[in-house]
Structure 1
């Protein structure tokens, strides 16, 4: 007799389980912080690995479908090169999440190509995905409206925010998300509608459907993303160009104008209405300020991008083959920085990010993956063989527009690290691939694809489970540290000694041990940090402080010099520490030699404080600025009035900005 449990797995609808797992992941990633947090990357990894294993074992009807060998090889190559880059990274305490995300999204792309190409269920699943994603976009807009009206943040962010931190709002990422999804919302809202001018109900339904799209456009406008708006106009122009090239004299102006007018009117009315309601509770961003670059960030957001691009190219030439490692730009860029707080986690360009962090080989295979699909789509959309009727309002055209929008926007602002953007981007790329003529392409052997993908999926699960346990442990420690309980925090931190994805773990341990005057243990923690990342100025600053307390003056000087080279434009405490080290060694002549540089640095910070660039007035840099100015006033009495005036002005501007922030109405949601 055969036990029922042996065949229990056969009764499970594995195909439906995989399909719904991906759909639920898609919805949750959008609604939960835009998928920015680490927990979403870990969930993505688990789902991608699971659907890959299931499709190649229990559900081989999907897994046995073939994939183009060039695309498959490029996806695998991108994954492997990313992993190798991480192994050779100069900042390996960070970047593991990017490795997992890259591999998981690659598996998702291949799964979607097979799933969407399924002759029995593919079209139905694509329709369900588009419908669910469109509804999620509208729901995210609704949540975003509440946040925009009732919270102090003056740009629309949708669900792309973390309510725990007042700085974690991502309007540009929200704009990029809408650039990807507005064509899908438009398709879902209007695809099955037939307008009848003779019926009142039909006209009312037309207005309602167009109003939904107009509301989405208003939510894009309220993000105040200049780059997003320019890309949006480019999408419209590209769509019009594609249709016009095929239709010429028969360009459907009469069909386009009524819908466009309603959508534009609703978008503008919604824009003005939401700003009007918000103005009763909070300040409203002036459109003119954004256009003329006179808003809070001024022209710095534009000029800094050019700086990031040049610095990225400079760094890429130093390590061209495999790059500095995933997520390394944040740590290696400050050594080339020449403006106050002009730093970033990435160079605001997807190609340059890959080039500087993963090397030229990974960049090339990434371009092959995306370029192969987009190039073939472009050729097909402009081909004489495609029917004009299906071209005007077809899903393939609108997916192409959405993907183009994300690619263009990532050339000026990288946001693919958000799972809510990266996941639908790669899924839609897979769907678009199935609409192309790929019958002539050579396919990868099913057995090679199966065992390679299963191996990667199993490795992903192993790493995710291993590191996930440590993530939970360290999160408890960080919560205790934030709550002001260093003793509990260090207990939990010490339990995470086997963690590879350590991030700032050892810096936190060093800080706590230093506070407890356990200098030896603090140095051991710093040594472990330097073993995986010697580019972070914060670690050098911590070592300098520790050495001064321990009486190791020369070691303190060397540490502060390293910190000064890497972080002087971001944190004035390293300059303060360097001066203290010189004074401890009675090397006033060295201070005199560096005085022009220090004076120039103070002048730059004074200007940044006056403009409140990057909200510097809210940072500890103000207190450090005043301390350094007072220190120099004592060292150089003849220039004391100048330093005292600089300190007074900085204090005045900081107090004004801080008072303005404190006096503004609090958030009404949290």
Structure 2
């Protein structure tokens, strides 16, 4: 049963609403956040603040107040106020999710719906690759706020429903560990047909992740697979991933380091090799993205050293750079989640952000319901950590659907903890 007792029947509407958001979340970064916001407001006005005012949710509220304060004193307050929309509504979404999710059965079901929903992302990505007509533009008025080309980009990358390849990759980084856990039959409470669907989602999602051309995501998904293999105590699989990774690294980077590897390099797809090698090789065109990031990070660290407490205001980074005559080489932001928070709202906000997520994960792992979750808490934690690790090289939290997914996962984990009685 999804509910512990009749006492929770009053939340059936909210639970059904939450399931609807989980299923259709990926199709629009405008309508679905609005639909989720209505759910959050309903919970607040019907049950009141006291109903959701648990310790972690109070920490969200405190962090929100600090971000509002830094917005008032920001370099450009109107722009910083817009930046609040990338954080505050999603803190609220995590809070109401933790109020609605009360049992491990609910938690598992919500996760399966998220995996089911990912079929739309991966299926559409595969369709783009098959059609490969980038001059055909999918009408933006149907699903999204921007046009979507029905084919590969000039540098042979696929973006699916999202506005950028790295956003698609970050989405899949959160979903694939969960899909893998379902696909391997680790969750006995789901049906065989659900396991098959999860397997299909895993296979298609992995293909699309490769097609996004995100070097960051490629490395992280292997790292996540190794961590899961360690959790499953599949030591042969761990060793296999390690050997394969070392061989690929030898083939891609061995020549530059004087270690050979030409034979392995010749067996790998040229585009794959060049994409990875360009990360560190200034002679390749793709290295410019590395150089531009290093340039932006240097300036971000300089700004943090000048205003370490209050920051400069969320999303004020390019405005401050322009006012100081600093050339960001076309980058619109810091390309680092943690630097963006510290530049925008200061080091206290960054510590609060990391602390709340760490608190949520710690509380989930120490909860008595971790066994009832059939390992899903571990899979979700890996997905969340992979997303956060991707934040070291990019800043994709500005995409509403990614934020919704992240805070759904964290809110669901915390829901098990706060109702563990």
TM (norm. structure 2) is 0.73
The match for 2:390 is: 409
Among candidates 366, 375, 379, match of residue 353 of structure 2: 366
Change (3 A) 1:236 1:356: same
When residues 21 and 313 of structure 1 are mapped into structure 2, their CA distance, relative to the original with a 3 A threshold, is same
State whether residues 178 and 380 of structure 2, in contact with CA within 8 Å, keep that contact through their aligned partners in structure 1: yes
User: How far did residue 354 of structure 1 move?
Assistant: 0.7
* Corresponding position of 1:636: none
Alignment match of 1:98 (pick from 63, 66, 83): 83
Classify 1:100/1:47 alpha carbon distance in 2 versus 1 (closer, same or farther; 3 Å): farther
Residues 148, 78 of structure 1: alpha-carbon distance in 2 compared, 3 angstrom cutoff:
farther
Deviation at 1:346, TM superposition (A): 2.2
1:286 Cα deviation from its structure 2 partner: 1.7
CA offsets 1:339-386 (integer angstroms, 9 cap, x no match): 6x62423212221101101112212211211121234556x59x9x98
State which of 43, 51, 67 in structure 2 corresponds to 1:82. 67
Bigger share in helix: 1
Instruction: Tell me if structure 2 keeps the 8 A contact 1:85–1:325.
Output: yes
How far is 1:310 from its partner? 1.6
Aligned to 2:247: none
User: Residues 19 and 298 of structure 1: is their aligned pair in 2 closer, same or farther, counting only changes over 3 Å?
Assistant: same
Q: Cα RMSD between the aligned structures?
A: 3.6
Could you tell me which residue of structure 2 aligns to residue 19 of structure 1?
Answer: 15
Number of residue pairs the alignment of both structures matches = 357
Q: Matched residues in 1 for 2:186 and 2:296: separation?
A: 46
**CA distances 1:266-301 after superposition (whole Å, capped 9, x unpaired):** xxxxxxxxxxxxxxxxxx982122022179851111
1:325 aligns to what?
313
Are the aligned partners of 2:183 and 2:195 in contact in 1 as well (CA < 8 Å)? no
- For the residues of structure 2 that align with 1:109 and 1:309, how far apart are their CA atoms? 29
C-alpha separation between the residues in 1 aligned to 2:39 and 2:417?
Answer: 27
The aligned residue for residue 248 of structure 2 is: none
Cα distance in 1, alignment partners of residues 176 and 215 from structure 2: 17
Is 1:302–2:282 an aligned residue pair? no
In 2, the alpha carbon distance for the partners of 1:431 and 1:206 equals: 21
The reply on whether 1:231 has 2:212 as its aligned counterpart is: no
Q: Distance in 2 between matches of 1:191 and 1:64?
A: 36
Any conservation in 1 of the 2:124–2:160 contact (CA below 8 Å)?
yes
Residue matched to 2:95: 110
Distance across 1 between alignment mates of 2:157 and 2:208: 10
Partner of 1:347: 334
SS in 2 for 1:94: helix
Matches of 2:11 and 2:418, distance apart in 1: 26
1:29 aligns with one of 1, 22, 25: 25
Q: Which has the higher contact order (CA 8 A, sep 6+)?
A: 2
Paired position in structure 1 for 2:111 = 130
Partners of 1:209 and 1:320 in 2: how far apart? 45
Q: Work out the CA distance in 2 between the residues paired with 1:145 and 1:370.
A: 33
Change (3 A) 1:362 1:144: same
**Does the CA-based 8 Å contact 1:74-1:368 persist in structure 2?**
no
Tell me by how many angstroms 1:125 deviates.
2.8
Could you tell me how far apart the structure 2 residues matched to 1:23 and 1:333 are?
42
Whether 1:311 and 2:264 are equivalent positions in the alignment is no
> CA offset at residue 22 of structure 1?
2.9
Secondary structure of 1:286's aligned partner: helix
Give how far 1:206 is off: 8.7
1:290 aligned to 258, 270, 275, which one?
A: 275
What are structure 2's unaligned runs of at least 5 residues?
1-8, 133-150, 242-268
2:173 aligns to what?
179
- Taking the aligned partners of 1:376 and 1:127, their CA distance within structure 2 comes to 18
Larger Rg: 1
CA contact (8 A) 2:166 2:212 kept: yes
Correspondences of 1:451-600 after superposition (within 5 Å): none
Q: Which residue of 1 aligns with 2:124?
A: 143
* Structure 1 equivalent of residue 246 of structure 2: none
Match of 1:50 among 28, 37, 42: 42
Normalised by the size of structure 1, how large is the TM-score? 0.48
- 2:252 is matched with which residue? none
Tell me if structure 1 keeps the 8 A contact 2:311–2:345. yes
Compared with structure 1, are the counterparts of its residues 333 and 399 closer, same or farther at alpha carbon in structure 2 (3 Å cutoff)?
same
Question: CA offsets, 1:79-131, max 9 Å, x none?
Answer: 111112222222233243432342221122122222223xxxx3343233222
